[in-house]
């Protein structure tokens, strides 16, 4: 077998294996299903009048809790978390990911800064902080490593094709 063919074969093998790992991340990451189910269960569609805010959800957070909330469609709506005492826990943004400072009741609030009514789809989840931190760290690591090896495999295969074309 020619050297160029070996590069192509090894490159394709690395790329396809890494692609399979990247696609299967939801199946191999611990806790992926429970996080995904929490987001699916808490999905909401909210219509916001101009320059108004709406409490989307209220929830109780125990010790060591974190809330993650994000928009599912594009809009100019901002999300924030407010404690039962009225103090703002997060700055308004389209993604909220914060460890809650203490046990208690909190509200997820959607804010419309525009002069027009907006309809927004969003979701949130309240998780133990250590669980969600590990989940996002592991998920990001698994995806980054598999993307690196997909790229490496494609580069090796392309190099093999280059050698093959150069040799003709």
What residues does each domain of the chain span? 3-167
Residue 37 to residues 45, 64, 91: CA-CA distances in angstroms?
17, 20, 26
Confidence of residue 164 (pLDDT cuts 50, 70, 90): confident
Residue 83 to residues 57, 134, 164: CA-CA distances in angstroms?
12, 25, 65
Phi and psi based region of residue 103 (left: phi greater than 0; alpha: psi -120 to 50; beta: remaining): beta
pLDDT at 126 over 70: yes
Confidence of residue 168 (pLDDT cuts 50, 70, 90): low
- Nearest residue to 78 via CA among 60, 90, 63: 90
* Residues 156/24, Cβ–Cβ less than 8 Å: no
pLDDT at 119 over 80: yes
Token output for 74 = 């594009």
Question: How many CB atoms are located within 10 Å of the residue 27 CB?
Answer: 8
Which residue bears the tokens 């790992």?
21
pLDDT (tens digit per residue) in 72-90? 988 889 999 999 888 898 8
Q: Which class in CATH covers the domain with range 3-167? A: mainly beta
- The partner residues of 160 in beta bridges, in order of sequence, read none
Which residue bears the tokens 């690395």?
14
DSSP state of 79: E
The pTM (predicted TM-score) of the whole model is 0.73
pLDDT at 145 over 90: yes
pLDDT for the residue numbered 82: 94
pLDDT (tens digit per residue) in 38-49? 999 999 999 999
Dihedral sign for Cα atoms in the order 125, 46, 73, 101: negative
């Amino acid at each position: 077998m020619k050297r160029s063919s070996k590069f192509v074969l090894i490159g394709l093998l690395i790329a396809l294996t890494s692609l399979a790992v990247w696609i299967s991340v939801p199946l191999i990451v611990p806790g992926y299903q429970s996080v995904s189910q929490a987001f699916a269960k808490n999905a909401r569609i909210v219509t916001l009048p101009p320059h108004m805010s709406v409490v989307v959800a209220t929830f109780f957070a125990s010790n060591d809790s974190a809330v993650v909330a994000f928009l599912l469609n594009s809009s100019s709506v901002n999300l924030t978390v407010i404690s039962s005492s009225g103090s703002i826990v997060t700055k308004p943004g389209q993604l909220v990911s914060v460890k809650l400072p203490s046990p208690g009741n909190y509200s997820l609030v959607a804010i419309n800064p525009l002069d027009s009514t907006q309809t927004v789809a969003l979701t949130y989840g309240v998780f133990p902080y250590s669980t969600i931190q590990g989940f996002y760290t592991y998920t990001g690591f698994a995806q980054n490593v598999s993307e690196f090896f997909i790229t490496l495999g494609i580069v090796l295969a392309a190099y093999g094709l280059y050698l093959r074309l150069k040799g003709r």
